[in-house]
Structure 1
Amino acid sequence: MASSDETYSRADAEDEIDILRRVEDDVVDAIQNAENEDVLEYLIEDQELDSVHDGKRGLGAVRKAVLESSIASDRLKRIVSLRGDETPEDILVPRDVERNAKVALEAGKPVVLYGPTGTGKTTFAKQLARETGIGYTLNTATPSWTPSDIIGGVSPDYTGDDLSYRTKLGCVSEAVQRARTFDVEYGVILDEITRADISKIFGPLYTAIENPHQTIFETDEGETIELDERVNIICTMNMSDRTVNELDNAITRRFAMIELDEYEEDKRRQLFKDWITTHVTDQSDLVDSDILRLFERDYEGINHGHEATSQGAIMRFGPMHYRDVAVFLGVACREGGEYEHDQTAAVGQAFRTYVVPRLLNSAAFPQMERIVQHYRALNDEFDEFDLSPAAELAERELEQERRQMGSYDQ
């Protein structure tokens, strides 16, 4: 191993690769003393020594050394930061949605991606974070969230003999600290923020956005945290049960509101084809074109209505739900699967399991009636499949709703 005051060459790395695979400290030294980025590319891209020592994902000593390196490019830093991230590379959201979100972040505005369930908001949030920084953290909101989950707070420390208290960074403060430490652009995703009380949890963040140089948190070590222009804040919001007009003005004034709703028809169709090919084709005797036509008819009927009945859309419903249907069919209909010998029934069961409950979850009574009509019509149209389980579930829920309404009227 080269001494700490000598540069470390690609030839050194190749000669000592067996040792480097065994000794983490030697890899860190090699990165810190590398004579050029070619050495780092060999260690990280070719040999993937960060995975060898740090695991499939997470920030270990080797990845930290790369992120701290003055000769590592943003591309190489992004590789180690996103190791193990399986987010799809292809961005399928409408072009104006992608452009508006990127412009907002470049202008220093936090972003809220909002729209109906199943429109791929979380996937796009991760893609956006990847495109605009070298890494990101994903944090899913819960009803118990408080401002400390965003900014930071005090939490009990049970590690010593006596109970003590320490400051703990929130997800935004943690992103700021990481951007500072490695001098990089970094993303923080706050997913499904409608699960929490937005006005409550975002109060200190609103103040920080208005006054970016104001300290929002101080660690036990005396480090002050202020919002940093290198940190991109990206939120997602399910709008199936509310509209933008119902939101607190505080968030719409401080965040760029980016609606994610309709996909272009060709991209949506390509999604359906990819899922069917990946999950269904090799595992079942189901005909791809029939499954694709069913997905299209179901999606169109829910989102745009039926020409035959002259009725309009039932509700907004995204295409991502159909991936779950495709995965179910592949597992259920494969050799030895639960529906190997009853594959037409599997289709109705998949819709009963993944699509109908999600529709009913946010449906008002008139919409429930339409959902029943919709699946009855689909069951009549598609002789290839038994969609009665989906229709029957909707019918039972509708009848229960009728009984409840009847009891209220008495």
Structure 2
Amino acid sequence: MSYTETTYSKTDLKEDSLRREYETDPSTAARIVRGVEDEEAMRYLVEEVKIDKQHEQDQHLGDIKRAILESDVCSDDLKQVVSTRGDETPKEVLVPNDVQQDAAAAINAGKPLVLYGPTGTGKTTFAKQLARNVGIGYSLNTATPSWTEKDIIGGVEPDYEGGEVSYRKELGCVSEAVVRARDFGGEYVVIIDEITRADISRIFGKLYTAIENPHQTVFETDEGRLITLDENVTIICTMNMSDRTVHELDDAITRRFAMVKVADYPTDKIDSLFETWMAEYAPDVKSSKPIELFKTDHRWLNNGSADGGPIMEFGPMHYRDVIEFIGENINDGGSGDGIYEDVEEAIGRAFRTYLTPRLLNTASYPQVKQLIEHYERLDNQFEIADLSPALELAQSRLTTEQQKMGARE
């Protein structure tokens, strides 16, 4: 059979000689994809042959993936399969129901969205879950202090190829999402993670203009493509901060973005999370005492105890790292490969490694003192853990702060 025709049916694609050709040669694979005649044939290539996975890394957007995503005979569900191949975002949504509803309502209304709240509440995971529900694909971009408007909308970059300096226009993360939405013929999501790491008023100037005037050109590519904020592009941002800090944000962002707080997990959901993680990551720990410790620690940090008030908002997702650490590192007196001899030592080192540094990262001087008292109470109440390592770290931070205060005086 001669394969000179420009279209291919599922029957053609299953023929051995052609299949050997497109499974071994990426350029042929891309050409074959562009010649697929209908969705049945495309579904065969994507779901059974997995032609994109054979030639390109899961997250790499190469010629074959582009050919599939730009195809007129490829359905949106198949495009999402290809664009999210290798994406391990969990399907189960853990954030509270009211948060899910508020976020979905904002997206339905066409508003860009900011998910904010304390660390460890699953904002980034939830952002990716929303993206997968909304569009055929998404990009995830983490802000840095060096970001400018160029990283959002685009700008001019020097090109030193060939020993000579030339200049080219480079897309920003939002303008790139616009181009992908147009080229792929579907809704596309751009996630901007941890936006408070950058100067928001500095990086979002042109984006504010685009939101207010969606038909106004905000960037033009070297090829002459005009970038406007396409209605098929959804913007989701995340930020770690408290309510007080959110209220101090520039009105420019709070007027243009829907602000949804991710926090206030119900007690039963937190209990379920801890129990699930213990069963999955630390099945050899048979005692229920560690779970009681984690619940108490989280409750006292966020809501206070009989002996002290709340210290700071702190999300439950941090404890997954602690539980994985324990499961991987306990020896419990046996002949295993664990680093620590028992659960008590492993929990104390896990607190010092994962929880205490994250708490101290944003703690004020009074909060550091509260943390010391907090760990002393926990250590006295729970024999299942030796929390002295975490306590020592907090005390070291307090000493440093006191020395700084003495130097200033």
Q: In the alignment, does 2:319 pair up with 1:322? A: yes
Q: Equivalent residue for 1:384? A: 384
Q: Could you tell me the percent identity over the aligned residues?
A: 55
TM-score with structure 1 length normalisation? 0.93
Assess if the C-alpha contact under 8 Å between 2:356 and 2:390 holds in 1: yes
Q: In the alignment, does 2:275 pair up with 1:294? A: no
Q: Equivalent residue for 1:404? A: 404
Answer with 46-55 or 35-44: which moved more: 35-44
Q: Equivalent residue for 2:305? A: 306
Answer with 358-367 or 239-248: which moved more: 239-248
Q: Equivalent residue for 2:132? A: 130
Answer with 328-337 or 50-59: which moved more: 328-337
Answer with 29-38 or 346-355: which moved more: 29-38
Assess if the C-alpha contact under 8 Å between 1:51 and 1:57 holds in 2: no
SS, match of residue 160 in structure 1: helix
- Work out the CA distance in 1 between the residues paired with 2:371 and 2:2: 70
Assess if the C-alpha contact under 8 Å between 1:4 and 1:29 holds in 2: no
Amino acid at match of 2:404: Q
- Work out the CA distance in 2 between the residues paired with 1:231 and 1:159: 33
Amino acid at match of 1:332: N
- Work out the CA distance in 1 between the residues paired with 2:8 and 2:166: 45
Amino acid at match of 2:337: G
Aligned pairs for 1:207-246 (under 5 A) are 207-240=209-242, 243-246=245-248
Assess if the C-alpha contact under 8 Å between 2:168 and 2:222 holds in 1: yes
SS, match of residue 268 in structure 2: helix
Q: In the alignment, does 2:10 pair up with 1:10? A: yes
Answer with 22-31 or 287-296: which moved more: 22-31
Aligned to 2:191, which of 189, 194, 201?
189
Aligned-residue Cα RMSD (Å) equals 1.9
Deviation digits for residues 34-80 of structure 1 (CA, Å, limit 9, x no counterpart):
34322222221122121001122221222212211222111110000
* Number of positions where the alignment pairs a residue of Structure 1 with one of Structure 2: 403
Assess if the C-alpha contact under 8 Å between 1:102 and 1:132 holds in 2: no
SS, match of residue 86 in structure 1: coil
Q: Equivalent residue for 1:145? A: 147
Superposition deviation, residue 324 in structure 1: 1.4
- Work out the CA distance in 2 between the residues paired with 1:254 and 1:4: 54
Deviation digits for residues 145-194 of structure 1 (CA, Å, limit 9, x no counterpart):
11111011111001133111111111111110111111110011111010
Aligned pairs for 1:62-73 (under 5 A) are 62-73=64-75
Deviation digits for residues 301-357 of structure 1 (CA, Å, limit 9, x no counterpart):
1011113x2x33111000111111122222322632322x24421110110111111
TM-score with structure 2 length normalisation? 0.93
Assess if the C-alpha contact under 8 Å between 1:97 and 1:260 holds in 2: yes
Superposition deviation, residue 6 in structure 1: 5.8
Aligned pairs for 1:20-169 (under 5 A) are 20-169=22-171
- Work out the CA distance in 1 between the residues paired with 2:179 and 2:60: 16
Deviation digits for residues 355-391 of structure 1 (CA, Å, limit 9, x no counterpart):
1111112112222122111111111111122111112
SS, match of residue 14 in structure 2: helix
Superposition deviation, residue 14 in structure 1: 2.4
- Work out the CA distance in 1 between the residues paired with 2:391 and 2:371: 8
- Work out the CA distance in 2 between the residues paired with 1:342 and 1:104: 48
Q: Equivalent residue for 2:361? A: 361
Gaps of 5+ in 2: none
- Work out the CA distance in 2 between the residues paired with 1:28 and 1:407: 66
